Structure 1
Amino acid sequence: MAKKKILLNAFNMNCVGHINHGLWTHPRDNSSQYKTLEYWTELAQLLERGLFDGLFIADIVGVYDVYQQSVDVPLKESIQLPVNDPLLLVSAMAAVTRNLGFGLTANLTYEPPYLFARRLSTLDHLSRGRVGWNIVTGYLDSAAKAMGLDQQPEHDRRYDQADEYLQVLYKLWEGSWEDGAVVNDRQQRVYARPDKVHKVNHQGEFYRVEGYHLCEPSPQRTPVLFQAGSSERGLSFAGSHAECVFISGQNKAATRAQVDKVRAAAVAAGRDPQAIKVFMGLTVIVARTEEQAKAKHAEYLRYASAEAGVAHFASSTGIDFSEYELDEPIQYVKSNAIQSATKNLQNNDWTRRKLLEQHALGGRYITLIGSPTQVADELESWIAETGLDGFNLARTVTPESYVDFIDLVIPELQRRGSYKTAYEQGSLREKLFASDQPHLPADHPGASYRHTPTTPTGALQHA
């Protein structure tokens, strides 16, 4: 029986400090060059050399101002501040690669679906079908205030809005232009057939949209849909919409339970449990020997900022940890922030000292440290014991951490049959799911919005 092939995204952000904070100060780190095209085109070419499935680019709207009730630490340590737009990077990276996918985070709360649909279709065209969208609804009050709201909408209410947002997008991406609408016939002077292009008429609680999708169908129509919510409402949303789910695991047993919940949510939505690929965030520090890897880890620790990591986590939970003494138990407070982050604090057995220890490398992802053989053993173990499909590999020192992984770990995984030796053909969706279908599968709710021959010409209506 062939081994399950591990899927792999590089996890990054259009900023200096992303997950493992403080390492921008390392003399070999070049993350402060994030403002240049060369930083991104060279990274994309490096990842394609390593046969990575995608570059997953995180994003936030707003700032981390919960810790000390200020942005002093985020500014000094560049904790995802400043941060540039992730979508504008794709054209340049797509131009220097042929196979690498791009998972792009965009917050639906603050952008009308009609224009967003055009932006994603444009990128899917320019990349020849290599775009995915990481669907987020936001969790920062600072973002809501910057966008003119008193505060962000309530957690579950944000998902209600997201459900309707996706309905509008499906109508635009899947239903407005039929297959065969574009004929590009110079002799007949017909580029697109009017009888195969339909007006979307959506009248909902959150959105009213009457109009035609501005783009002809892109290679995937709907980009690959990523999502990262692990609350009960977030899982329900993922079960209906997501094709890839990103989780943050702390041990194998808990991760297995999370993966099972994702699969169950897909089944509850009438989908195949394997219709969702599940990725876990991970940090890897690898060298040719275990001793060299431990020495590299110790070196990195000297530059990392545990306080910056805790300041980041404070905004994830909505709790100002700076108000607590080092060994004072932190009181759990239900907030409107990331529910999976606050869940870890519910036993009231965390202290600021314990958080600082957890964030020693600047972040709180599981960190694998060792030789190529040791790292490969652990990666295979996580896949086998949890049901995961792959990993989002966070950076430490840029680009060193990706170079090390590509040069040392990838060949070892390939030797074991756990990682591809060449890219498959086709779109990002076809590569991830080993299929010959670039569009949403038939059991995905978005597929039901496709125009069928029995629907009268004119406005596309859908309940």
Structure 2
Amino acid sequence: MTREIRLNAFDMNCVGHQSPGLWRHPRDKSWTYKDLDYWVHLAKTLERGKFDGLFIADVLGVYDVLNGNVDAALRHSAQVPVNDPLQLIPTMAYETEHLGFGLTASLSFEHPYTFARRISTLDHLTKGRVGWNIVTSYLNSGALNIGQPAQTKHDDRYDLAEEYLEVCYKLWEGSWEDGAVVRDRESGIFTHPEKVHPIRHSGKHFNVPGIHLSEPSPQRTPVLYQAGASSRGKDFAGAHAECIFVASPSKPVLKRYVANVREAAERIGRNPREILAFNLQTVVLGETDAEAQRKFNEYRKYASFEGALTLISGWTGIDFGQFGPDEVLRHRHTNAVQSAVETFTTIDPTKEWTVREMADWVGVGGFGPVFVGSPQTVADLMQEWIEDTDVDGFNLAYAVTPESFEDAVDLLVPELQKRGVYKTDYAKGTLREKLGGAGPRLVAPHPGAAYRNLFGEPARVAANG
């Protein structure tokens, strides 16, 4: 097999992230998330390993479903405290040359007019190395704290997302023409006003009459990531995503998901092979299988049962504090992440999972599978999963940071390169070009490309001071 394997690192501006309780491990440094030194070291490590990018998760809200309060989340640092991810990226970009940065930002809590400027600014500062993980948010606590009466229902959030992207596409792709900015010192013209257009958007959720505030950035629209696992989420990803992020613990589930998104893309005329699929993965590596297993057993001693239930309760909207540890998991429908409960019942259709077994699974690496072994063993497993599921690569979460990432760079990457399935150098250009795009911009038939050259009246018509 010679298909290239792609790797992102998966982190969050918090403690522990996907492995609740492992912040207590003596070699874990996730508690230093407040220091730029941690992030700069991580970025340089990942670039040394030719990772495609650092994918930074985020939540606006707290995991307060377990027992109806935030106590367990605070006690075990289950993604709280959590800081803003965007502010980390400029410093890491300054210290690297090629590494991409996938920013998770919820469209539920910020107006597209201001958000579009923040992303354009970031694309400028990174010289075109930024991607946006489009999320609609699922924590009710986040909605309440910005004044909403409750979290919007699942499918309604995707209705809003479609219009949100329409506004962003108009601002990024349509408002400023190519050649609008000339910086002509002799004529005294910096920008030709007739080449900058108000978007005049009037919709169900947003009214944005004016122009985009930023001049065009290298990519204009950032590389678009999406992680929705529901039927509506897969259709949305097929229409808009350039990369999809899946958290599937089993090959059959992952294969079905990737196929569904590619089919959704094909239905609207997109090339399904242009969508890159990454599965959540944790790897525990050692020079030998025995050394890796010893390390994994050591990690598991620090995993927090209550911390794992805190995350699962938040992900599903079900308070697992009401069940005993040995109760069997039953399928329940919620307005949270609809696929989360189904995840455990589809790992093995013949198995009935107890709450304790579910927490043990999530305790190291979250929902995704954990590969434990030597570089040869883990490389075999990665190639097997890619061949069997049509996934393109993996978002690697950590058990202990930066150890998990350093092991991947120092042990796994050389093995993959030796097999000819991993790049030995970066491609030139923006993140979109490094990921295989023909150029720095969206291209038809991606829906975002349709907003290019859409407007014809000069900005001065709508100018209001």
TM-score by shorter chain over 0.5: yes
- Structure 1: state its 5+ residue gaps: none
Q: Name the structure 2 match of 1:388.
A: 391
Given that 2:365 and 2:397 are in contact with CA atoms closer than 8 Å, whether structure 1 keeps it comes out as no
Query: 2:220, 2:108 → 1: CA distance?
Result: 22
Q: Alignment partner for residue 413 of structure 1, among 407, 412, 416?
A: 416
Given that 2:181 and 2:190 are in contact with CA atoms closer than 8 Å, whether structure 1 keeps it comes out as yes
Displacement after TM superposition at 1:48 (Å): 0.5
Given that 2:277 and 2:392 are in contact with CA atoms closer than 8 Å, whether structure 1 keeps it comes out as yes
After superposition, residues 271-350 of structure 1 pair within 5 angstroms as 271-344=270-343, 349-350=352-353
> Do residues 438 (structure 1) and 440 (structure 2) align?
yes
Displacement after TM superposition at 1:330 (Å): 3.7
Q: Deviations over 1:285-337 (max 9, x none)?
A: 00101111011111111112132112101111111111112233344332110
Query: 1:345, 1:128 → 2: CA distance?
Result: 41
Query: 2:9, 2:362 → 1: CA distance?
Result: 20
Query: 1:418, 1:410 → 2: CA distance?
Result: 10
Larger CA deviation: 324-333 vs 252-261: 324-333
> Do residues 166 (structure 1) and 165 (structure 2) align?
yes
Query: 1:327, 1:74 → 2: CA distance?
Result: 22
Given that 1:307 and 1:362 are in contact with CA atoms closer than 8 Å, whether structure 2 keeps it comes out as no
Query: 2:362, 2:244 → 1: CA distance?
Result: 24
After superposition, residues 120-139 of structure 1 pair within 5 angstroms as 120-139=119-138
Q: Deviations over 1:159-186 (max 9, x none)?
A: 0000000000000000000011111111
Q: Deviations over 1:228-272 (max 9, x none)?
A: 001111111111111111011122122111110010011122211
- Structure 2: state its 5+ residue gaps: none
Q: Secondary structure at the match of 2:301?
A: helix
Q: Secondary structure at the match of 1:308?
A: helix
Query: 1:120, 1:373 → 2: CA distance?
Result: 40
Q: Name the structure 1 match of 2:75.
A: 76
The residue type equivalent to 1:439 in the other structure is R
Q: Deviations over 1:31-64 (max 9, x none)?
A: 1110011111111111101110000000000000
Q: Name the structure 2 match of 1:450.
A: 452
> Do residues 270 (structure 1) and 269 (structure 2) align?
yes
> Do residues 213 (structure 1) and 216 (structure 2) align?
no
Query: 2:417, 2:38 → 1: CA distance?
Result: 27
Larger CA deviation: 331-340 vs 423-432: 331-340
Displacement after TM superposition at 1:17 (Å): 1.8
Given that 2:197 and 2:458 are in contact with CA atoms closer than 8 Å, whether structure 1 keeps it comes out as yes
Displacement after TM superposition at 1:359 (Å): 2.8
Q: Secondary structure at the match of 2:45?
A: helix
Q: Name the structure 2 match of 1:355.
A: 358
- Aligned-residue sequence identity (percent) comes to 53
Given that 1:17 and 1:78 are in contact with CA atoms closer than 8 Å, whether structure 2 keeps it comes out as yes
Instruction: Count residues with an aligned counterpart.
Output: 458
Query: 1:420, 1:264 → 2: CA distance?
Result: 28
Larger CA deviation: 297-306 vs 9-18: 297-306
> CA distance change for structure 1 residues 386 and 459 in 2, over 3 Å: closer, same or farther?
farther
TM-score by length of 2: 0.95
Query: 1:309, 1:361 → 2: CA distance?
Result: 9
Query: 1:226, 1:127 → 2: CA distance?
Result: 17
Query: 2:130, 2:119 → 1: CA distance?
Result: 8
The residue type equivalent to 2:423 in the other structure is K
The root-mean-square deviation of aligned C-alpha atoms, in Å, is 1.8
Q: Name the structure 2 match of 1:156.
A: 155
Displacement after TM superposition at 1:351 (Å): 2.5
Query: 1:87, 1:267 → 2: CA distance?
Result: 33
TM-score by length of 1: 0.96
Q: Alignment partner for residue 376 of structure 2, among 369, 373, 377?
A: 373
Query: 2:460, 2:107 → 1: CA distance?
Result: 25
Q: Name the structure 2 match of 1:427.
A: 430
Query: 2:359, 2:211 → 1: CA distance?
Result: 52
Query: 1:204, 1:460 → 2: CA distance?
Result: 21
After superposition, residues 194-205 of structure 1 pair within 5 angstroms as 194-205=193-204
Query: 2:212, 2:458 → 1: CA distance?
Result: 15
